[in-house]
Amino acid sequence: MRDVAVIGVGLTQFGELWEKSFRELIAEAGAKAILDSGISGKEVDAMYVGSMSSGRFIGQEHIGALVADASGFSFAHVPSTRVEGACASGGLAVRQGYLAVASGMHDVVVVGGIEKMNDVGGTSATETLATAADQEWEAFFGATFPGIYAMIATRHMHDYGTTREQMAQVAVKNHMNGVLNPYAQYRKEISLDAVLNATMVAYPLGLLDCSPVSDGAASIVLCAAEKAKKYTNKAVKIIAAGQASDTLALHARENICTLQATVHAAKMAYKQANLTPKDIDLAEVHDCFTIAEICAIEDLGFVKKGEGGKAIDNRITTRDGSLPVNTSGGLKAKGHPVGATGVAQVIEIALQLRGDAEKRQVPDARIGLAHNVGGSGATCTVHILEAM
């Protein structure tokens, strides 16, 4: 195994992108990443792309080939592979790219993530997202995807005294960060009252506890760390790539409030990097719902189980706190084009470690973590990056 570096990053705007097609979005993100990296197109050895449900969102499968074609790599006949793990599809693509380079199989790999969610109606988008849950034993009976996270929230409130206000503060914080991110879907602050009084979606989660339906794409270029200097002086190293799975259905888990896939993916990553949670300077975590960020900071080991709510009260995770979380605005404010999310999280960490995060820059950031979850926690990836 050899070290792997992120040498280029590219993002599209996240949001309701009515004028842009799936192909345009992925080509734009890929081109930006390649230009940022300094490689020439000829040097691309392989491509991996994460997409949760292009089949339902745009009626198109065979996304590996489509992405290679749309990005101009079809005549180079570059191997291109789509990976899927619901909302963790992007994180999985990053990890597949990482493994391909680390193994020595390929020197330069382009990783992409994309979702074009607004080409179907809102109801249809929500139902497609619910396919990340267990269709036969959860969704069939009327459980929606927000409903499943809401059940985690209800139990978290019961077991640990977590409050709706604490959850709402997650949304408030992430919107404050989103204001500073030029690619974010929502660049405006929201008040605590607005979150608490928003239309109820699935008690105890209101509309502003939920991440939005978004279009967007993200791409990174990976290469063997020893060769990174050849292309750029802005490389950051991926020092760990953890992944774990859990039961598809939330109900099958012994503890409803602990995402064991996060716990295990994090354990794998900390071990590989030889680090502890204390060594992490900042994190991008999977806040598809506000309760998910609270569970994530607990399950990643940043705070004790049950103290995620208090950590929000104590402002530990704000941009000027001891562990800034979701400086990008998170899924909540930056937007959540599901397949793109895992890649975009790695991009935010890379930008922060490069010192390129502009107004939302965390001073002296050396080590960052990206946490991407599929479904209600059946798939999880944890990547740790270090400045070079």
Q: How far is the CB of 87 from other proteins (least distance, A)?
A: 18
- 87 an active-site residue? yes
| Closer to other proteins by Cβ: residue 150 or 297 | 150
Distance CA 336, CA 230 (A): 34
Q: How far is the CB of 196 from other proteins (least distance, A)?
A: 15
Q: Contact 27/71 with Cβ under 8 angstroms?
A: yes
246 binds other proteins (CB under 8 A): no
Q: Contact 170/268 with Cβ under 8 angstroms?
A: no
Q: How far is the CB of 142 from other proteins (least distance, A)?
A: 4
Distance CA 219, CA 232 (A): 17
Distance CA 130, CA 138 (A): 9
| Closer to other proteins by Cβ: residue 234 or 253 | 253
Length of the chain: 388
Nearest to 114 by CA among 212, 210, 243, 27: 27
Q: What is the 3-state secondary structure (H, E, C) of 222-264?
A: EEEHHHHCCCCCCCEEEEEEEEEECCCCHHHCCCCCCCHHHHH
The CB-side HSE value for 46 (13 A sphere, CA atoms) comes to 18
252 binds other proteins (CB under 8 A): yes
Q: How far is the CB of 287 from other proteins (least distance, A)?
A: 18
| Closer to other proteins by Cβ: residue 18 or 141 | 141
- 383 an active-site residue? no
Distance CA 261, CA 372 (A): 10
Distance CA 251, CA 256 (A): 7
Q: Which of residues 170-189 bind other proteins (CB under 8 A)?
A: none
| Closer to other proteins by Cβ: residue 203 or 322 | 203
Distance CA 261, CA 165 (A): 27
274 binds other proteins (CB under 8 A): no
Q: Contact 221/36 with Cβ under 8 angstroms?
A: yes
| Closer to other proteins by Cβ: residue 81 or 144 | 144
Strand partners, 289: 210
Q: How far is the CB of 372 from other proteins (least distance, A)?
A: 24
| Closer to other proteins by Cβ: residue 128 or 318 | 128
Distance CA 101, CA 1 (A): 9
Catalytic residue among 106, 156, 336, 371: 336
Q: Contact 343/113 with Cβ under 8 angstroms?
A: yes
Instruction: Pick one of 62, 136, 193, 313: the residue that binds other proteins (CB under 8 A).
Output: 136
Distance CA 48, CA 93 (A): 6
Query: CB under 8 A: which stretch of 67-75, 85-93, 227-235, 249-257 binds other proteins?
Result: 249-257
Site string for other proteins, 59-98 (x = CB under 8 A): ----------------------------------------
Instruction: Pick one of 62, 188, 229, 251: the residue that binds other proteins (CB under 8 A).
Output: 251
Distance CA 369, CA 346 (A): 8
| Closer to other proteins by Cβ: residue 223 or 257 | 257
Site string for other proteins, 144-173 (x = CB under 8 A): x-xxx-xxxxxx--x---------------
Q: Tell me the number of residues near other proteins by CB under 8 A.
A: 37
Distance CA 185, CA 333 (A): 6
Nearest to 349 by CA among 373, 332, 329, 365: 365
Distance CA 294, CA 368 (A): 18
| Closer to other proteins by Cβ: residue 127 or 189 | 127
Q: How far is the CB of 256 from other proteins (least distance, A)?
A: 5
Query: CB under 8 A: which stretch of 110-118, 171-179, 248-256, 264-272 binds other proteins?
Result: 248-256
Q: How far is the CB of 20 from other proteins (least distance, A)?
A: 27
Catalytic residue annotation: 87, 336
Which stretches of the chain bind other proteins, using CB under 8 A? 123, 126-127, 130, 134, 136-144, 146-148, 150-155, 158, 199-205, 249-253, 256
